[in-house]
Amino acid sequence: MKEGIKMPIYERETLCIILAFLVFNLFVFGSAYGKEYTLDEIIGLAVEKNVELSILKARLEANRGRVVSARAFLNPEVDFTIGRGKEMRASVFEYSFGVAQTLEFPSKRFFRLKFAETLVEVSEKDIDYLLLEIKSRVKKAFLKLVLDKKILSVLEENIKAIDELVKAVQIKFEIGEVSEYDYVKVKTDYLTATNELRRAKNNVQISKSNLNSILANSLQDDFDVIGELIFREEKYKLEDLLSSMKEKHPLILRAKKEVDLKRYALQKERVSFLPDITLKLFYDSEVDKKLYGVGFSLSLPVFYRNMGEIITASMELAEAEYESQKILVEMSKAVNEEYQNYLSSYERAKTFREELLMNARRALELSKLSYLQGESGLLDYLDSLRVYRLVLIEYYQTLFELEVSITELEKLTGGIK
């Protein structure tokens, strides 16, 4: 019976160490370098790294603290004094003890609490709007990178086709089947395509840098993104967009909350002059008597009734109402204008998808077949190749413009359903 060859112990240990090292590099360094990110992952990172958002969240927590303060009741007061008195040469202790509780007018606490709660809601709308801004900014930069990658892919395919054509034409030129002009022409097209390819690669790097800068340069230099430029068949309606804007856009909702805030501020001023009643319980022990009982005190609004503050608050309320109307008009105008850009991009993308792209591809196929069969010249084929490349690039640019327009509409409406 044959015995298997046994590996020495030190060799087995060395092999295990090498395998462990390879696995460690695969999972640790492999995950850190060259990672591909989806749009949602990029947006999540942008939200996480945004300093302004952290500031707004801290402000929100501060305003929530104001709600706690507004909800609190006034503390009672305790008064205690002690001293020594004399009666008929006798020395005795005298003391007094009292408890006072101020009862705030109910409307004061109510409107103070409403003011603080509305201030929290205003802060929440500030955060919602910033999140919309971050998402829009990141998505546009992400789409630009996807576009540049698409253009790079088209130019890489184009350079391959022209390179094969150069090799074929060079052979034919050497045996005298094509003219020097055709040979020089195809080499010129190859050099032009090479320069375009270099420019496209540089554009990809620039777009990566722009996207990474939004994320505070937290990504590795060789990161990549996963995304496509697609044509959305569904066509949005202007009335639906305007309705969505009025219902849920953070700026409009914030303006409404700002009106409520100023209204509660006015009500606070209107009731602030109303007197608070302070109830007292007291007990006095003096040399010759003891006294106990109840009492109350209040200030009378005779000379000052807070009229200056009331007028100021009234005007601030009116200003907030006008500002709310102004924001609604401006937002509606912005949605209408962007919707026209959306319609234009939609129709152009549809034309490219249903007609131009198909025709350009078919023309290229026929031109190539005709050239190979000797029915047409090299220049006709090169021209068809150039036209197809330009149509394909312009199609991707149109899809990019359509996606950017949809992104802008999402920002202007608070999100498209």
Q: How confident is the model at residue 150 (pLDDT cuts 50, 70, 90)?
A: very high
Phi and psi of 351, rounded to 5°?
-65, -45
Q: Residues with Cβ < 8 Å from 207, sequence gap 6 or more?
A: 141, 144, 145, 147, 148
Token output for 317: 């309320």
Q: How far apart are CA 147 and CA 155, in angstroms?
A: 12
What mean pLDDT comes out for the span 246-265? 95
For 131-138, what is the mean pLDDT?
95
Residue with tokens 């050239």: 371
Of 378, 384, 343, the C-alpha closest to 363 is: 384
Tokens of 218: 């937290």
Least confident of 67-76, 112-121, 213-222, 359-368: 359-368
Q: Are the C-beta atoms of 256 and 323 separated by less than 8 Å?
A: no
Residue scoring higher pLDDT (322 or 369): 322
Give the residue-averaged pLDDT of 377-387. 80
Highest mean pLDDT among 72-86, 137-151, 168-182, 272-286: 137-151
User: Residue 355: which region, alpha, beta or left (left: phi > 0; alpha: psi -120 to 50)?
Assistant: alpha
**Strand partners for 86:** 91
Residues 6+ apart with CB under 8 A from 169: 178, 182, 183, 186, 378
Domain coordinates of the chain in residue numbers?
48-413
Q: DSSP character for 303?
A: S
Handedness of CA 127, 128, 132, 138 (dihedral sign): positive
Question: What letter represents residue 339's amino acid?
Answer: Y
Which DSSP string do the residues of 176-194 spell out, in sequence order?
A: TSS-HHHHHHHHHHHHHHH
Write the single-letter amino acid at 403. E
- Name the residue type at position 279: L
Give the pLDDT of residue 156: 92
- Residues 403, 405: Cα–Cα separation, whole Å: 5
Q: Crossing angle for the helix pair 39-49 and 106-174, nearest 10 degrees?
A: 130
Query: How far is the C-alpha of 242 from the C-alpha of 238, rounded, in Å?
Result: 6
pLDDT value of residue 95: 80
| Span 2-10, average pLDDT | 47
pLDDT surpasses 60 at 6: no
d(CA 318, CA 324): 10
Alpha carbon 117 to its chain's center = 25
DSSP string covering 361-383, please? Answer: HHHHHHHHHHHHTTSS-HHHHHH
CA-angle at 413, arms to 410 and 417, nearest 5°: 65
- Kindly give, in sequence order, each residue whose CB lies less than 8 Å from that of residue 203, ignoring residues fewer than 6 positions away: 148, 151, 152
DSSP state of 236: -
Give phi and psi for 216, each to the nearest 5.
60, 35
Beta carbons of 124 and 57 less than 8 angstroms apart: no
Q: Give, for 285, the enclosing helix (H) or strand (E).
A: strand 277-285
SS (H, E, C) 75-126: CCEEEEEEEEEEECCEEEEEEEEEEEEEECCHHHHHHHHHHHHHHHHHHHHH
48-413 classified as CATH 3.20.20.150: no
**Per-residue model confidence (pLDDT) at position 29:** 44
Do the beta carbons of residue 53 and residue 130 sit within 8 Å?
Answer: yes
Sign of torsion over alpha carbons 23, 27, 32, 34: positive
Q: How far is CA 24 from the centre of its chain?
A: 36
Nearest of 251, 250, 46 to residue 141 by alpha carbon: 46
Q: How far is it, in rounded angstroms, from Cα 169 to Cα 402? A: 40
**Least confident piece of the model among 138-147, 214-223, 339-348:** 214-223
Q: Are 215 and 49 in contact (CB under 8 A)?
A: yes
pTM: 0.81
